Amino acid sequence: MEKRRIPMATSSSSKAAKSPVAPQIKRGQRILTEKPFAFVLKSKYRLERCDNCLEATKVLKCSNCRYVSYCNRACQSQAWGQHKHECPFLKKVHPRIVPDAARMLCRLILRLEHGGDLIRGYYTEHGSRKFRDLMSHYAEIKNDPMRLEHLDSLHAVLEDMMAESPSTVPNKTELMSIYGRLITNGFNVLDAEMNSIATAIYLGVSITDHSCQPNAVATFEGSELHVHAIEDMECLDWSKIFISYIDLLNTPEQRRQDLKDHYYFLCVCTKCTDAQESREMTAALCPNRNCGVGINVERTNCPRCDAGISPKLRNAYKEAMALTRHNLESMKDVAYFDVCKVCLNKQTGVLHPLNVWHVKTLDAAFEAAIDVGKWTDALDYGQRLLPGFRKYHGAWNPLLGLLHMKLGKIQLFEQHAKEARHHLEEAQRILTVTHGRDHRLLSEQLYPLLLQARHEANN
């Protein structure tokens, strides 16, 4: 029988008839809220963000260690329970900056020493995990020279900080087991713009496995972690809930490498095992303008339209890929508008629009154009970025929602109210699912913009 589209008006009843089990969990539902077991604000923010609520605001230093700062007394006293143990150590090494991983290890050691071993993080009413339940990958780390070197350097910092104290640094074996749990389970806490501002360990959520095609997403409000379902689910079964641990805007080879280096496992998700995915992500563009399909330059002809692939195209492809890889690598921290433009010129007519290196370049170009206030260029790059973001990050991803929000903001600034409204409504549709409608990103940033865009579009 032919599959026909179900008209919208009857979709709910037809859907119920088709699938016998109605989903218990709806897309957009929050399935977990969790406070961190331990967290550390990145040291580069310690003079501009509160060490407790992570808010970027005017802050005052702890008068004893002069290392951490707080936005007010309430935050300081809330943090004191955990800070009091580390405060003397931070004071001892003042004015030196402690590596974030060392401070995190110090906090974990102290937390475990003061009853943290018994603390449980719940992922369901009855399901919970303690720190010792977390994976440590002890054996792998023990055989990983890079990790061992890192741990040695952290060990030296800790010995220096925590000397002359009753809470001595644990022995190497114990320290490695704590370090392993930190490496394997640590989260980057992101602010509303998706910048990494802190490192944290959450006990309950550590039950969640990775997939490059996740059905749930983790977002943050301050240091609190929220997990939202991005697909309907039949029930709350954590063995079937997946989040992504890594940047999905990468080829399967790169993703697998990232996961192996960092989490010591080989991803066998459907996207990683599909050979097509890798080919698509690095495809050249068919020379026949009416075809537009992605091709492999090592072949002689386009598989769809049979257009010949010339040595000239082959060379242009290799050059564009090499130039792009080189420049994106060197612009890891800050992207330069002119460099992005040079790369994009090289890519035009050579790389397929969904080639991941082209998408990455557009992403860098978009941010660089915003940085230098080139709004027309930013709009152009941002619009062209949408299909790649949708394809690789997924339709329900915070980054896609934020991209729409940024486009809406620029369109509003450029007085294109109707386009602005469209993008802001798209942002709302996505961010409501990934963050929840009460999240401050929506209430403080998105809703006021949307209100303004609707008002201006109606005038």
Which chain residues interact with Zn ion by CB under 5 A? 50, 52-53, 62, 64-65, 71, 75, 87, 212, 267, 269, 272, 286, 288, 291, 293, 302, 304-305, 307
> Least distance from C-beta 292 to Zn ion, angstroms?
7
Min dist CB 93 to Zn ion, Å, is 12
CB of 89 to Zn ion, least distance (A): 9
Per the structure block, which two tokens stand in for 70?
């707080």
Distance in Å, CB of 378 to Zn ion, minimum: 31
Whichever of 293 and 386 has its CB closer to Zn ion, that residue is 293
- Closer by beta carbon to Zn ion, 80 or else 375: 80
Taking the complex as a whole, the smallest distance from the CB of residue 169 to Zn ion amounts, in Å, to 20
- Rounded to a whole number of angstroms, the minimum distance from the CB of residue 258 to Zn ion is 10
- Residue closer to Zn ion by CB (options 151, 157) is 157
Report how far residue 121's alpha carbon sits from residue 124's, in angstroms, rounded to the nearest whole number: 9
Q: How far is residue 287 from each of residues 120, 307, 343, measured CA to CA in Å? A: 59, 7, 19
Nearer residue to Zn ion within complex by CB, 41 or 431: 41
Which CB, 190 or 291, lies closer to Zn ion?
291
Using only C-alpha atoms, the chain has a radius of gyration, in whole angstroms, of 25
Helix axes 145-162, 73-93, angle to 10 degrees: 100
Q: Where are the beta strands (DSSP E) in 286-381?
A: 294-295
Give 192-196's long-range contacts (Cβ < 8 A, gap of 24+).
Answer: 192/440, 192/441, 192/445, 193/402, 194/398, 194/399, 194/402, 196/42
Distance between CA atoms of residues 205 and 198, nearest Å = 17
Nearer to Zn ion, 129 or 439 (CB): 439
User: What's the angle, vertex CA 327, arms to CA 321 and CA 328, rounded to 5?
Assistant: 85
| Consecutive H or E run containing 344 | helix 337-347
